Chains A and B, each alone.
Chain A
Amino acid sequence: MSRKETGGFKRSYNDKIFDVADTVILVVLLFVFLWPLWFVLIASFSDYNAVASGQVFLWPKGLTLGGYQEVFKYDTLWRGYANTIFYSVVGTTVNMIMTVCCAYPLSCKDFKPRKVIMYVLMFTMYFSGGLIPTYLVVKSLGLLSTRWAMIIPGAVSFYNCLIVRSYFMNSIPTELKEASTLDGANAAQYLVKVVLPLSKPVLAVVALYYFVGHWNDYYNALIYIYDKDLYPLQSILKNLLCDVQSTMDMGGMDTEFLSQLYARKQIMKYSVIIVSMIPVLMIYPFVQKYFVKGVMVGAVKG
């Protein structure tokens, strides 16, 4: 009896330490996730000299909109922004149509070539031609340095098809299909009127994946786009943020003026990051609640 009690005491004591440690770790992690983003936000509103000298850490200092004024004057960036909106909207539309066209037949049990097609497409997930062979195909189709090079080579991702397919198979009751067949609906009517409205959560998640993929796409532009007018936002961000050279080359001019210019340019980098993230941040809260579902459905073995 007494042993059990001490055991119990020890347990609750251990568990208390555990709970405290657990909470501390979570608070630290919350800070780790949030702080870099928070810092970019406050730095974008702060005076650059305060940022550079390390006075900005948790709150903005010397409030200014200079960075944002600089961003609004930067035409190249806005052209990239417009291009990216085009690539993301058109690209995601194409992606969603293709994904449903792929996922729905593969979810129908009476579709005979289902298994063969599954294997054929699954293979592409593990083995691909690689950079140059794909580049040569895109080139031979005449897509190089056109807007379509940002959309067509990535028209569908089989991984996302699998997510949608398993949702169709596992979350839509088969009775509905029987009922609608009895009512004389064909496969297309059933898909549009019954399946798609019932699949909104998974479609929202997959659309978000695609949209963010397009929004953040730098790779395709690097390889396929040579025309600067067609550059997406990320290519322009790359030149702005990751080019060490551009910030160092300044010599022989009025130093006071130059250091001002430099400061504005540096602060603009923070502002640009914020401006570039706005659309994704706007969609994020709406779709966020479906994430867990989307990821879990995708984990179901194909």
Chain B
Amino acid sequence: MAKRNAGIVKKKAPLSQRIAKELRHNWILYLMILPVLIYYIIFSYTPMYGITIAFKDYKVKQGILGSAWVGLKHFKRFFGVYNFTNLLKNTLTLSIYSLLVGFPIPIIFALILNYSTKPVLKKATQMISYAPHFISTVVVCGMLQLFLDKNTGVFNSVRALFGLEGISFLSNEHMFKHIYVWSGVWQGMGWSAIIYISSLAGVDYELHEAAIIDGASKIQRMRYIDIPSITPTIVMLLILQLGGLMSVGFEKAYLLQNSLNSPASSIISTYVYEQGLTNASYDYSTAVGLFNTVVNVILLVSSNTFSKKVLNESLF
């Protein structure tokens, strides 16, 4: 009754009163979200403000505010540094290669699982395919070191069976990208496939029945029913991946890096770490990191806009 009266009168209480009422009504919710907001202010928004040191000559004693502005000096230095093109090339090589291989494979894997006629095999493969996702990067890199060892690694033992000579895989700069990408596929494909498996399970089976009556083969059903049905999911994940194109995993590149493969394994994120924490050039390292982030954001926004216009699918 009171509610209805309020609706008829249509006279809003002053803002302060409304806020007070909302606070009284939902105080528990406000209390809950408070620590979360404090966390994000301290650990996400304060560092965003800290980005300003990318445009400053940062001196620890003078702090962020007190240090002098230097404009784009650090960016110019980065673009002029001798290995700039190499860093950019390595970063893009690893990320584009990972995307080209790592993106379609989980989709194909999900389709293959979906059409399996052996339920036990299907279940077992699916369950075990998640497992590598839970192994730490350190252990994966350790396994790679052990498996790929020139003298004792099992890969070279297999090569020896065919009379081939041992290769020092990890010291070879040309091998690095393949090792990086395919170990990533091993680790991620089962996990990335989950989302497609679920979307495929949601495809209306009546479509398949109709197609079977019309004489469609399994490949045709895959091509004309399943793939179009999961396209929205595919597009959504593709946008997300494009937005992270420049953020190649730091850990794996860092852990697999050695002096022999470094021409291929130095990427922007390892460079940021080197400059920032090993050399303590905070301002310069921040500038390089910012360059990376900005490229990522541009990629994300443009791929989102593109897909909104062309495919009518978008993330935000």
Q: Given A33-B125, A52-B152, A128-B293, verify A269-B142 contact (CB < 8 Å).
A: yes
Taking the complex as formed, is A72 at the interface, i.e. its CB lies under 8 A from any CB of chain B?
no
Chain A min CB distance to B154 (Å)? 6
Is B47 touching A104 in the complex (CB atoms < 8 A)?
Answer: no
Interface size class of B (residues with CB under 8 A): 35 or more
Taking the complex as formed, is A252 at the interface, i.e. its CB lies under 8 A from any CB of chain B?
no
Is A280 touching B35 in the complex (CB atoms < 8 A)?
Answer: no
Is A126 touching B125 in the complex (CB atoms < 8 A)?
Answer: no
In chain A, residues 4-40, which have Cβ atoms closer than 8 Å to a Cβ of chain B? Answer: 4, 7-8, 11, 14-15, 18-19, 22-23, 25-27, 29-30, 32-34, 36-37, 39-40
Is B255 touching A33 in the complex (CB atoms < 8 A)?
Answer: no
Taking the complex as formed, is A286 at the interface, i.e. its CB lies under 8 A from any CB of chain B?
no
| Interface 9-residue window, one of B79-87, B95-103, B194-202 | B194-202
Bound CA–CA A44/B49 (angstroms): 49
Which of B135, B198, B296 is in CB contact (< 8 Å) with A296?
B198
Is A130 touching B116 in the complex (CB atoms < 8 A)?
Answer: no
Q: Residues of B contacting A269 with CB < 8 Å? A: 142, 146
Taking the complex as formed, is B277 at the interface, i.e. its CB lies under 8 A from any CB of chain A?
yes
Number of chain A residues close to chain B: CB under 8 A: 93
| Interface 9-residue window, one of A60-68, A172-180, A193-201, A216-224 | A216-224
Which of B44, B49, B255 is in CB contact (< 8 Å) with A238?
B255
Residue of B nearest to A141 (CB): B42
Is A216 touching B272 in the complex (CB atoms < 8 A)?
Answer: no
Q: Given A30-B121, A134-B43, A241-B138, verify A22-B116 contact (CB < 8 Å).
A: yes
Is B50 touching A137 in the complex (CB atoms < 8 A)?
Answer: yes
Q: Residues of A contacting B116 with CB < 8 Å? A: 22-23, 26
Q: Given A112-B22, A137-B47, A242-B145, verify A130-B286 contact (CB < 8 Å).
A: yes
Q: Residues of B contacting A100 with CB < 8 Å? A: 32
Taking the complex as formed, is A251 at the interface, i.e. its CB lies under 8 A from any CB of chain B?
no
Is B29 touching A187 in the complex (CB atoms < 8 A)?
Answer: yes
Is B152 touching A266 in the complex (CB atoms < 8 A)?
Answer: yes
Bound CA–CA A161/B256 (angstroms): 33
Which of B113, B127, B285 is in CB contact (< 8 Å) with A26?
B113
Taking the complex as formed, is B134 at the interface, i.e. its CB lies under 8 A from any CB of chain A?
yes
Is A19 touching B141 in the complex (CB atoms < 8 A)?
Answer: no
Taking the complex as formed, is A124 at the interface, i.e. its CB lies under 8 A from any CB of chain B?
yes
Taking the complex as formed, is B217 at the interface, i.e. its CB lies under 8 A from any CB of chain A?
yes
Is A26 touching B215 in the complex (CB atoms < 8 A)?
Answer: no
Q: Residues of B contacting A22 with CB < 8 Å? A: 112, 115-117
Q: Given A30-B125, A212-B134, A219-B251, verify A295-B194 contact (CB < 8 Å).
A: yes
Q: Residues of A contacting B297 with CB < 8 Å? A: 126-127
Which of B39, B46, B137 is in CB contact (< 8 Å) with A129?
B46
Is B157 touching A53 in the complex (CB atoms < 8 A)?
Answer: yes
Is B194 touching A244 in the complex (CB atoms < 8 A)?
Answer: no
Q: Residues of A contacting B157 with CB < 8 Å? A: 53-54, 57
The 20 listed contacts between A and B (C-beta, < 8 Å) are A18-B218, A27-B121, A30-B125, A33-B125, A39-B147, A54-B161, A57-B157, A102-B33, A104-B29, A105-B30, A106-B33, A121-B36, A130-B272, A131-B286, A133-B48, A134-B43, A218-B255, A242-B142, A284-B134, A292-B197
Partner-A contacts on B (CB < 8 A): 22, 25-26, 28-30, 32-33, 35-37, 39-40, 42-51, 53, 64, 109, 112-113, 115-118, 121-122, 124-125, 127-132, 134-139, 141-143, 145-147, 151-152, 154, 156-158, 160-161, 186, 190, 194-195, 197-198, 215-219, 233, 236, 243, 250-251, 255-256, 258, 272-273, 276-277, 282, 285-286, 289-290, 292-293, 296-297, 300, 315-316
